[in-house]
Amino acid sequence: MERPSRFEHTRFLGDKRTQLVYDLDTWTDKSVIDEIVGSEVGLCFGPDTVVEARNRGYTLAKPGSHRIHRKPRA
């Protein structure tokens, strides 16, 4: 999947509302990523690893996984 222009240098994109992190190299559903970027609730991690995302409380998203959308804190 092509990476969004705002996150072109990152592999993992987090959704602040659901605390899910998406691997842009393996994720195939473009509509989910477009909705995160369009809502401006995306978050990148430094260093850009799934370990850092887990350290911040995020869970790796799997196709078909759903969570309640909450209002982002920051």
Domain spans, the chain:
5-60
- Number of Cβ within 10 Å of residue 7's Cβ equals 19
The pLDDT of residue 61 is: 93
Tens-digit pLDDT profile for residues 37-70: 999 999 999 999 999 999 999 999 998 877 777 7
Q: Can you tell me whether residue 2 is helix, strand or coil?
A: coil
| Alpha-carbon span 38 to 56, nearest angstrom | 23
The DSSP letter of residue 5 is G
State the chain's mean pLDDT as an integer.
90
The pLDDT of residue 2 is: 81
Find out whether the peptide bond into 47 is cis, omega within 30 degrees of 0: yes
